[in-house]
Structure 1
Amino acid sequence: MIRNYFKIALRSLWKHRLFSFINIVGLAAGMVICIIALIDFNKAYNYDTFHPMPERTYRIITDVTFKENQREAYASTPYPVATQLKNNYPFVEEIVHVVPARKAEFEAAGKILKTSTSFADVSFFKVFGFKLLLGAFNDAPHTAVVTAETASRFFGTANAVGKILHHKDWGDFLVTGIVATPVKKSHLVFDMLAASSTITAIEKNGVNIAETNNWTNPWASYTYVLLKRGGVKSRLDAAIAQVANISTSAIGANNDQRSFAYRCQLLNDINPSREDLLNFPAGTTYGKLLVEIGIGLITLILAGFNYINLTLARSLTRSKEIGLRKVIGAGPGQVFAQFIVESVCFSLLALLLALLVLGLLKPMNVIQDVFNDAQLSIAFYSSLFLFAIIAGIVAGCIPARILSAIRPAVAIKGQKALTVMKGITIRKALVVTQFAMLLTGIIFMLAMYQQQKFMATAEYGFAKSNILNIELYGSDHQKLANELKKIPGVEEVTATSYTLGINGGNQQKAFRIEKDFYSSAEILSADEHFISVMQLKLVAGNNILPATNDSAGSSVLINERAVASLHFDNAQSAVGQLIRLGDSSEVRVAGVLKDFHSMSMFFPIFPMIIRQTPAYFSVLQVKANPAVNADQFKSSVAALWKQLNPHQEFTAQWYDKALYAHHFHGSDQLLMVLLCSIVLCIACLGLLGMVTYSSEIRTKEVGVRKVMGAKIVQLLLLLSKDFVWLLVIAGCIAVPVGYIAAQLFLHNFTYHVAVGAGTLLTGFFSMLLVGGFTIVWQTFRIAIHNPVKSLRAE
């Protein structure tokens, strides 16, 4: 019986090739998005599956409540939490501090390279499943292990064990081991892992790493607890509640925190995360996965609409087949099974086509990112096969149920269109739904495009043209600046700790010394040439002092937002005032700058303090004459760099291009275009099939009308007007929905574009143009058909 079902299904597929092509391509397009989502879903569950004791390993999460009652959840904890648990609770077998990875520049073998550096306890390799290829990890200060890739970057094929890595602020580190690349992904990512005992030695020299004695800094470190065998989570819950009381009692009078609470999270539950945690190291969240799966399923549902639509449209021609099958003894269940088998055949062929399409799209960066680190096993492909079967059954259920219920007498006489309510057929409802969802996506994509374009080209309040940003990698900025000034076309050079307009920098609390006022402020390190190069405007006071002055580091600039946050009466009154920073240093306000966007438009303008601390300079910004040739100028700078730093790579970008690339995310735009193109393809294929079928069953009518003198334009209007009205109805539904979706997206940005009539009308007419072309193209083919042939056809 099943064999006969497949035979009939394949014959029907071949006989109605156009409809088969539309169904298979439509389902394949929907499956492409679903497969991408399933790959990401698979990757999310491949995190941290190689650790030896996940069932009794927990990470401690911090919940901080502030005085204004807002709450924040952190994946990290204050540093003393781990020490307190280790020293006072016997049911704990091991405790691991892991100080979050930070980009740090190390020098070795004539190279200065940025490495992602974490600090950890010696118990790290007991609790986690990372393996050492060579050497060992010990607790001696200024020792570290590095990954095999990092060892290769510094030392090539030479054995890195026993070598020294130098950091200008942290000192020398002895490499004691090489860490193998883990077989599975982990939320803990590092290039170098240093002994945690080093932190105390570094902080004695005044360099802040983790604030080892601060009970109220939730950013300090990740805390992991390995319970003894037989240990129960409830005892750990009780212990961290006691530790939370210590943190809460340590909150100072000038702190905006009100209370601390801690909770434990099983290692296997870290990824995918059920909530958005601050200081989250690596991985993804359930929310992101659900969005991806939702988009994939919606796209597949749209493709399923095509199958339902075309199958029901063909019900008029297949009704006689159904009637005859029932007359000779077939029951409703057998007819139902026949249509389900046909649907599954379509779905399996669509899966093969979807995999082929993904293979062809693999060279695209956005698709490469999907496949990176994806470990696709036979089980995964088996799940895809099962998914295709389920999709086929679901897509086929509605038409199979409707068509199998047709009574034989009605079927042989000819089945009329199936309706959901008077005047509205199921096919019309599905077409409207498809194009309404398509238009919503187009409006959302246009809003996202306009916002990213706005962020990439907006006036940030500082200069960005003709400025070349050079990564210093620890090089002597003054020596390089002096040599650069000799290159023709160089107008001015400044050094800074980071570039404006992107993600901002280090944040500290700033206190007014004579008043009980404080505010979080962004700290930027820059020299006295910075405001000239960036064309920032002083509204009061003077520039910071030159580096040759003994008090240069204690002279600072603040912006207007900082004046308001620290409750100065006005910009002029702030000049000359003392401010104490979070590192306990006292600085004096030299001048006030007009507000500018130091971060992206996602954030509001933040209070800022600019001070001259050369130890933090990481970027040299070279202002070039507008008349210079950009490529030749950059080549001249690169040649000079190689002379001064022969073993160090040269990294430089023109500021305006770098800012544009950062905010105008080409991969996001490409992904949205790909999604909308797929949905557009699905919708237009379904519309093409509907128009084709509707036109074919009216071929004789068209022939009669042509014989009676009807013009082609009149026939086009006759055949297409019903479908055009469906597009208009879809537009009326989608425009307000798309507007709301776009507004919800833009609401995430402090500064954003407005969704106006232009955006909505552009989306609407784009849909109308593409859908209308599909309708007119197919109806035109029928309208110009020879009436003699159509009237002779049976």
Structure 2
Amino acid sequence: MLLFKRYVIIAFRNLRKQKLFAFINIFGLALSMAVCLLALMSTREQFSYDTFHPYPNRTYRITSPVKTPDGRVFPLAGAPLPLAGSLLTDYGIASQTVRLYTVLNENAGISTGKKDLYVRGAFSEPSFFKVFGFRLAAGNEQTALAAPNSIILSKATAARFFGTQNAVGQVLHFEQKGTYTVTGVLQDPPTKSHIDLDAIASISSVPLLEKSGLLPDRLDNWNNANDSYVYVLLKPGVAASKLESALSSIVKRYDKVEGQQSGSIAFVPQQLNHITPSGDLYNDINKGTTWGKLLAVIGVAFIILLSACFNYTNLSIVRSLYRAKEVGVRKVIGAQRYQIFIQFITESVLMALLALVFALGLLWGVMQNDFSREIVPDVPLDIVMIGWFVLFSVFTGLLAGVLPAWALSSFQPVRVLKSMSEMKVLGALSLRKSLIVAQFALSMVVTILVTTVYRQFDLKATMDYGFRQKDILNIPLEEGSYTLLKNRLQQVPGVEIVSGTSSFLGNKYGASFEVKTDAAATAVSMNYFMTDGDFIRNMGLKLLAGSTFPDNANGEQEQYVIVNESALHALHIKTAAAAIGQPLWLNDSTRVNILGVLKDFNFQPIERPISPMALRYHPADIRLIQVGVNPAANREQLLAAIAPLWKEQHPMKTFTYGWFDQELLKQIEVKGMLYTISFLAFMTIVIAALGLLGIVGYTTQTRRKEISIRKVMGAGTRNLIMLLSRNYLKLIVIAGLIALPLGFLGGNMFLQLFAYRVSLGIGTLLGSFLLLMGIALLAIISQTCTAVTTNPVNSLRND
């Protein structure tokens, strides 16, 4: 203990003596560690999901990878509702099953009409409590979801509707799905869950809703997994392989088209504690991230940390020239190699701990800004998190200090004094040159990757999706009269056109249905939007053939559908003109004719290729009014004129609205990513600059005798600067030859995640190279000018 205390005292003494060295190292490490702390917080946040459920190892969600006839695979997070009953009764492996039917999403209100708020809800059953371990703060878990038209609310939702009143026994009315009695209020779970809903109603309410036509037939329908989720709790001792065998057997029984050239479906179990992080699944209700995104964050943070550790190594070796006598004296008086090694490692760890303090300060500063919500994970800075931070800083100190500690402790005093600059680490390549090449190559790879990611997300934010985004006002319709409100809005000065839709374009997840060209044909899955006749013109979509919905279209019984080009290919219709008038069957129940064909556009984010899509006409399902406004109109005056018209139909509600382009940016989750990438880009460039400054400082110190002799022999300042710079430029070219292929490969691997992507061409690669070249030249000129203007007598006096 006494020896360790001595190590710490010496370390602090050296930090005081070498203030500039300490500042550059601590600041560089702090910048990189701030990024890594964010990555640690993000990792903890993602692994905090679903940790409180009582049977995580025996509970599985059933996912449904769907393979289309053309070979595309769409992994769905959902599964058909009848699957639960089959698993429970036919195979003897399930203790309980739970169904979540997430169609309870609409604006609900108290029966007195005092409040109307949006609710994200689902239908489920009493086993929900036993399988997932949720508890009620009020109500009886045994009966809360047993009777039809009963509903439980989250604490926050109960407070939104009823304030401090007891919510149990109160009544909620849903416009489309009836009236429900509140039978329970959920306790807040101890940790996050991928099941995050405002309300859960009894699934025993669904049969009557299906019978009355308020919901489609899904309880016994094996052909849809878009908004239904099935969980199974295995009996104790039952292996997961038995569940897989049962699911394979069920697929063979119910996938009637398997083996034909018409696509297929599979059922795959996903363990509850593996849902977050998970693979990239369609229609997933999970708010957590995917493995790909989490590993990308960790990878970028580690690369930036590695860059900062290189900085520390470089600067430590620079200072080793000044501490050579210290090392030599220690060895002469009997110090062992391990003692010198521990001394330098102690200094490195101490430096990292000091950098942790600065990093926490940077993190705190970031959290005080408005954009912190975009990049800072929602986890508490508790004692556990601080403990992880400390362990991480110790790891950083070990990682950064091991090479200089090993190098300085491995030689005899004379070699430390005379031959440090020529120590070989990579064959014939000296330590000096190795560090320069490694630092440049690493910095260049990071710069290329960060630039590529930024360009791709900038494309995601700014590309032409094929529909109008600017000057569109989104207004939720709720339960008001769409036709009446539309007619009133069209009279407002500054309003050019008004249309309605069930969901705005650009949504990650949309509704879908099965379409056939005739009763015997193979069904094609299509996304769809419920719209009106003005939607195409308002969104700026292009009709290749046919027309939009006529004014006299039947709003009760569907007659027409408008499809995109991709739908024609999937339905094997050759031309747009040939498609007009073609009959289609929707979900095997409704016969319609193709009224028009739209030019393909990106109705989903650009991660996905354009797929078959249809516009349908059913005004009762329109939930959003989109008001196209004149770009020159005064927006404040426009909103002041629109609000009273909306309030006429919603007197007890607060007028809400959103501008389409801004809501789309939120939907495609690009704003936070651009903030994060910009932050990483800044960190990368600053750390690279510090590292290069350290490298140049080291090399000019090792060549000070050479520079002095050349000056004595008559070399001019300009010639010396050119001589030193030429050597650096050669090493930069070597680093570029290493980094450019690696950066190109890594950037292209990332871009494969997107169906529509930027090109990683010569511009990005050359730009990154030139950026680092410019930073290097600034560092070179600043240090070499100092070296070549130094009086040679001072450098040669002790040689």
Q: Does 1:733 align with 2:738?
A: yes
- 8 Å Cα contact 2:80/2:223 also seen in 1: yes
Range with bigger deviation, 294-303 or 544-553: 544-553
Amino acid at match of 2:120: S
Cα deviation for residue 774 of structure 1 reads: 2.6
Candidates 124, 135, 145, aligned match of 1:138: 145
Q: Give the whole-Å Cα distance in 1 for the aligned partners of 2:95 and 2:316.
A: 64
Alignment of 1:438-477 (within 5 A): 438-477=443-482
TM-score, normalised relative to structure 1: 0.91
- 8 Å Cα contact 1:366/1:671 also seen in 2: no
- 8 Å Cα contact 2:93/2:243 also seen in 1: no
- 8 Å Cα contact 1:215/1:247 also seen in 2: no
Distance change in 2, residues 1:592/1:552 (3 Å): farther
Amino acid at match of 2:537: S
Q: Give the whole-Å Cα distance in 1 for the aligned partners of 2:517 and 2:188.
A: 49
Q: Give the whole-Å Cα distance in 2 for the aligned partners of 1:599 and 1:336.
A: 57
Cα deviation for residue 409 of structure 1 reads: 4.1
1:660-707 deviation per Cα after TM superposition (whole angstroms, max 9, x unaligned): 665582321221122222222222112212323444565676667667
The equivalent of 1:328 in structure 2 is: 333
Q: Percent identity?
A: 38
Q: Give the whole-Å Cα distance in 2 for the aligned partners of 1:439 and 1:792.
A: 40
Alignment of 1:295-374 (within 5 A): 295-364=300-369, 367-368=372-373, 371-374=376-379
Secondary structure of the equivalent of 2:569?
Answer: helix
Q: Give the whole-Å Cα distance in 1 for the aligned partners of 2:611 and 2:149.
A: 37
Q: Does 1:127 align with 2:159?
A: no
Unaligned runs of 5+ in 2: none
Q: Give the whole-Å Cα distance in 2 for the aligned partners of 1:89 and 1:681.
A: 61
Alignment of 1:658-673 (within 5 A): 658-659=663-664, 665-673=670-678
Secondary structure of the equivalent of 2:540?
Answer: coil
Q: Give the whole-Å Cα distance in 2 for the aligned partners of 1:256 and 1:497.
A: 33
1:589-632 deviation per Cα after TM superposition (whole angstroms, max 9, x unaligned): 22333333323333333323222101221221222234322343
The equivalent of 1:595 in structure 2 is: 600
The equivalent of 2:576 in structure 1 is: 571
1:142-188 deviation per Cα after TM superposition (whole angstroms, max 9, x unaligned): 11011111122223333322222222221112112211221211121
- 8 Å Cα contact 1:52/1:127 also seen in 2: yes
Q: Does 1:5 align with 2:7?
A: yes
Q: Give the whole-Å Cα distance in 2 for the aligned partners of 1:569 and 1:414.
A: 77
Secondary structure of the equivalent of 2:521?
Answer: coil
1:3-47 deviation per Cα after TM superposition (whole angstroms, max 9, x unaligned): 222222222222122222222222222222222222122223322
Q: Give the whole-Å Cα distance in 1 for the aligned partners of 2:634 and 2:696.
A: 57
Cα deviation for residue 417 of structure 1 reads: 2.8
1:328-373 deviation per Cα after TM superposition (whole angstroms, max 9, x unaligned): 1112222222222222211221222211211111124564456554
Aligned residues: 790
Secondary structure of the equivalent of 2:492?
Answer: coil
Alignment of 1:556-567 (within 5 A): 556-567=561-572
Range with bigger deviation, 501-510 or 177-186: 501-510
Amino acid at match of 2:8: F
Distance change in 2, residues 1:252/1:169 (3 Å): farther
Q: Give the whole-Å Cα distance in 2 for the aligned partners of 1:661 and 1:68.
A: 32
Distance change in 2, residues 1:433/1:367 (3 Å): farther
- 8 Å Cα contact 2:87/2:93 also seen in 1: no
- 8 Å Cα contact 2:561/2:617 also seen in 1: yes
Range with bigger deviation, 538-547 or 342-351: 538-547
Distance change in 2, residues 1:610/1:631 (3 Å): same
Q: Give the whole-Å Cα distance in 1 for the aligned partners of 2:553 and 2:226.
A: 36
Range with bigger deviation, 191-200 or 620-629: 620-629
Amino acid at match of 2:107: E
The equivalent of 2:391 in structure 1 is: 386
Candidates 176, 194, 203, aligned match of 1:196: 203
Range with bigger deviation, 127-136 or 783-792: 783-792
Q: Give the whole-Å Cα distance in 2 for the aligned partners of 1:491 and 1:695.
A: 69
1:245-273 deviation per Cα after TM superposition (whole angstroms, max 9, x unaligned): 23422223498776665565554444344
Cα deviation for residue 406 of structure 1 reads: 0.5
Distance change in 2, residues 1:294/1:591 (3 Å): closer
Alignment of 1:397-408 (within 5 A): 397-408=402-413
1:188-217 deviation per Cα after TM superposition (whole angstroms, max 9, x unaligned): 110001111112221222344671112343
Distance change in 2, residues 1:627/1:52 (3 Å): closer
Q: Give the whole-Å Cα distance in 2 for the aligned partners of 1:300 and 1:755.
A: 25
Secondary structure of the equivalent of 1:531?
Answer: helix
Alignment of 1:601-620 (within 5 A): 601-620=606-625
Q: Give the whole-Å Cα distance in 1 for the aligned partners of 2:710 and 2:483.
A: 87
Secondary structure of the equivalent of 1:553?
Answer: coil
Distance change in 2, residues 1:422/1:245 (3 Å): closer
Amino acid at match of 1:127: V
Alignment of 1:617-636 (within 5 A): 617-636=622-641
Candidates 501, 505, 508, aligned match of 1:503: 508
Distance change in 2, residues 1:300/1:504 (3 Å): closer
Secondary structure of the equivalent of 1:11?
Answer: helix
Range with bigger deviation, 410-419 or 682-691: 410-419
Cα deviation for residue 786 of structure 1 reads: 6.7
Q: Give the whole-Å Cα distance in 2 for the aligned partners of 1:390 and 1:492.
A: 61
Cα deviation for residue 582 of structure 1 reads: 1.6
- 8 Å Cα contact 2:78/2:230 also seen in 1: yes
Q: Give the whole-Å Cα distance in 2 for the aligned partners of 1:597 and 1:285.
A: 23
Range with bigger deviation, 19-28 or 216-225: 216-225
Q: Does 1:186 align with 2:193?
A: yes
Secondary structure of the equivalent of 2:558?
Answer: helix
TM-score, normalised relative to structure 2: 0.90
- 8 Å Cα contact 2:91/2:246 also seen in 1: no
The equivalent of 2:171 in structure 1 is: 164
Q: Does 1:177 align with 2:181?
A: no
- 8 Å Cα contact 2:66/2:73 also seen in 1: yes
Candidates 2, 22, 25, aligned match of 1:23: 25
Q: Give the whole-Å Cα distance in 2 for the aligned partners of 1:503 and 1:534.
A: 18
1:56-107 deviation per Cα after TM superposition (whole angstroms, max 9, x unaligned): 4444455666667776655443212222333356664433222247632223
Distance change in 2, residues 1:684/1:412 (3 Å): closer
Secondary structure of the equivalent of 2:654?
Answer: coil
Range with bigger deviation, 146-155 or 94-103: 94-103
Candidates 230, 234, 242, aligned match of 1:238: 242
Q: Give the whole-Å Cα distance in 1 for the aligned partners of 2:162 and 2:579.
A: 52
The equivalent of 2:285 in structure 1 is: 281
Q: Give the whole-Å Cα distance in 1 for the aligned partners of 2:600 and 2:97.
A: 46
- 8 Å Cα contact 1:97/1:222 also seen in 2: yes
Candidates 34, 37, 46, aligned match of 1:44: 46
Amino acid at match of 1:740: L
1:307-346 deviation per Cα after TM superposition (whole angstroms, max 9, x unaligned): 2222223333333322222221112222222222222211
Alignment of 1:661-740 (within 5 A): 665-696=670-701, 712-740=717-745
Amino acid at match of 1:512: T
Secondary structure of the equivalent of 2:321?
Answer: helix
Secondary structure of the equivalent of 1:307?
Answer: helix
- 8 Å Cα contact 2:533/2:550 also seen in 1: yes
Distance change in 2, residues 1:237/1:179 (3 Å): same
Range with bigger deviation, 286-295 or 192-201: 286-295
Cα deviation for residue 436 of structure 1 reads: 2.1
Amino acid at match of 2:285: P
Cα deviation for residue 729 of structure 1 reads: 3.0
Secondary structure of the equivalent of 1:314?
Answer: helix
Candidates 96, 102, 105, aligned match of 1:103: 105
The equivalent of 2:122 in structure 1 is: 118
Cα deviation for residue 376 of structure 1 reads: 4.0
Cα RMSD, aligned residues only: 3.2
Candidates 248, 251, 259, aligned match of 2:252: 248
Cα deviation for residue 722 of structure 1 reads: 3.0
